[in-house]
Amino acid sequence: MDRAHDPFLQLAMPDASEDLCATAMRGAAASTVAVARLAGFDLWEQALVGGIAARPGLVMAARSTVALQHAMVGLDVVVLLAEADTDPPIIIGVIAPAAAPATPHDGGMAVVADGERHVIEAEREIVLRCGDASITLTRAGKIIVQGNYILSRSTGHHKIKGAAIDIN
C-alpha cells in the first residue's frame, strides 16, 4: 500500500483528529451539510461517496471524522461540502438504517436457538402451551403436564419415582 495515500496513516499522526476538525470548522461558514451514500472504498481504503444532490453523478473520495467499515457500504452518510468543488467531502456521521417494521403479534415471543444448551428462566413460572396441551414449571418445583393425550416412551429403562404415585 502506498503510504502517501494511506487514509489511516494521517489519522494515526498526533493531532490528526484536531487537524481534520479544524479543517472542517475553518470552512464551516462556507460549507454545506448534505446526505450522501457510502459507495465503497478505493484501493487505499479511502471512503468513496456518491449520490450528493449538489454534485450529481459523481462518486468521489471523501475524508471522514468517523470510523467506517465495509459493512456500512450502501448506508447514507452525512457529509460536509466545501464551496470549492476541488475539496473532498468530509464524512461527519453515518445514518443508521431504519429498523425493520414491527410485525404485530399476540404478545408472545419467538426464540430461534442453535446452541447445545438453552436456559429459560422466570421468577414465578414458565408455561409452554400449544392448543390444549401445556407444560408448566413452577417456582415451588412442580411440573404440570396437561393434554388430551400424553404419551411417554423409552427405548431404555422408564422410571417413575416419587414419594407417592397415583394412577387414576
Determine the Cα–Cα distance for residues 89 and 48; give it in Å rounded to an integer.
Answer: 10
3-state DSSP assignment of residue 135: strand
In a domain, 151, yes or no: no
The answer to whether the Cα torsion of 130, 134, 135, 137 is positive or negative is positive
Determine the Cα–Cα distance for residues 49 and 41; give it in Å rounded to an integer.
Answer: 9
In a domain, 89, yes or no: yes
| Average pLDDT over every residue of 66-82 | 92
Diameter of the chain by CA atoms?
90
Give the pLDDT of residue 75: 93
Q: What is the CATH number of the domain that holds 65?
A: 2.40.50
| Average pLDDT over every residue of 37-57 | 90
Phi-psi region for residue 141, left (φ > 0), alpha (ψ -120 to 50) or beta?
left
**Phi/psi of residue 20, each to 5°?**
-65, -45
Residue with cell 408472545: 108
pLDDT greater at residue 14 or residue 129: 129
In a domain, 137, yes or no: no
| Average pLDDT over every residue of 2-12 | 57
Residue 68 one-letter amino acid: L
* Residue 36, burial from CB neighbour count under 10 angstroms (0-12, 13-18, 19+): buried
Q: Residue 119 — pLDDT band, cuts 50, 70, 90?
A: confident
Q: Residue 133 — pLDDT band, cuts 50, 70, 90?
A: very high
In a domain, 163, yes or no: no
In a domain, 45, yes or no: yes
In a domain, 120, yes or no: no
In a domain, 63, yes or no: yes
Residue 134 pairs in a beta bridge with: 129, 146
Give the pLDDT of residue 138: 92
Highest mean pLDDT among 84-88, 102-106, 160-164: 160-164
Q: Residue 39 — pLDDT band, cuts 50, 70, 90?
A: very high
Domain around 76: 3-94
**Residue 166 clears pLDDT 90, i.e. is over it:** no
Determine the Cα–Cα distance for residues 77 and 37; give it in Å rounded to an integer.
Answer: 6
In a domain, 149, yes or no: no
| Average pLDDT over every residue of 73-93 | 88
Q: Residue 135 — pLDDT band, cuts 50, 70, 90?
A: very high
Q: How many domains does the chain have?
A: 1
Q: Are 127 and 135 in contact (CB under 8 A)?
A: yes
